[in-house]
Amino acid sequence: MPLESILEIKNVSKIYQSAHHNLTVLNEVNFVINKGATVAITGPSGSGKTTLLGLCAGLDRATTGAVTLNGIELTNLSEDQRAAVRNQYVGFIFQNFQLLPTLTALENVMVPLELRGAKNSKAHALDLLDKVGLAERAGHYPVQLSGGEQQRVSLARAFSNQPALLFADEPTGNLDSETSEKVIKLLFDLNKDAGTTLVIVTHDLELAARTNRIIKIKGGHIIADENQQHA
């Protein structure tokens, strides 16, 4: 049975223009990611990793080239149309958690569900908090949680609307090594259960080594694209 692609990046460039000069952050990038894959995008600071993630997720628009997410070409869509595609198909995990400070852990996880008009959103959110070991902290606000707990809430939130594609931008960047290990295990366990496609931007080579494929980027170009075998 042929593999089905979920993300296609074709001749994508991103150029920022100023009065005196153009800055090319990404230059003619090409790759295809299949459904169910786990992929790491690695490279030094300033290499274009986060810019690439933003283009893949439809948060920003490429200067040239085409981005196709789950069969939908994003290039000519309006901002609202791209947001609708993200709401339907995409989940995010960020380095700085991005939880809403005025909402409890439970309410943060419920937000994507309620935006989609899901039924039983509270029960589903509680179940996810239980999976990440935080059922007893459901009523706590982000300021009452440690960094690791906040990232576990953001994991539960990311999986709450059952995304087809999950983007994680330096998900362990603000965590100590022991907490990182717990969060990474949860991320891969939840991902396996849900059958989500996972794309991680990271400079953490140990985290990258957990994925099926590593795309290395430098100076806006892909310099390596390697599939990995896991025992």
Using alpha carbons, select from 81, 86, 80 the residue that is nearest to residue 53. 86
CB atoms within 10 A of CB 25: 18
- Per cent of the chain over pLDDT 70 is 98
pLDDT of res. 215: 96
Q: Which amino acid is at 46?
A: G
When pLDDT is averaged across residues 72-94 and rounded to a whole number, the result is 90
Q: Classify 207 as helix, strand or coil.
A: helix
pLDDT tier at 2 (50, 70, 90 boundaries)? low
What pLDDT score does 74 carry? 93
Give tens-digit pLDDT for 151-192: 999 999 999 888 999 999 998 888 888 888 888 999 998 888
Average pLDDT, the chain: 90
Beta bridge partners of 91: 166
Q: Is beta strand 165-169 parallel, antiparallel or unpaired with respect to 5-17?
A: unpaired
Q: How many domains does the chain have?
A: 1
% the chain with pLDDT above 90: 61
State the pTM of this model.
0.90
Residue 58 lies in domain: 5-227
For 31-71, write each residue's pLDDT tens digit.
999 999 999 999 988 889 989 999 999 999 999 999 999 99
Which CATH number is 52's domain given? 3.40.50.300
Q: Taking residues 135-148, what's their average pLDDT?
A: 94
Q: Exposed, middle or buried, 128 (CB in 10 Å: 0-12/13-18/19+)?
A: buried
* Alpha carbon separation from 194 to 6, 7, 36, 107, 197 (Å, rounded): 15, 18, 9, 21, 9
What is the b/e burial string over 57-72, where b = at least 16 CB atoms within 10 angstroms of the residue's CB? bbbbbbbebebbbbee
The reported pLDDT for the residue numbered 45 is: 85
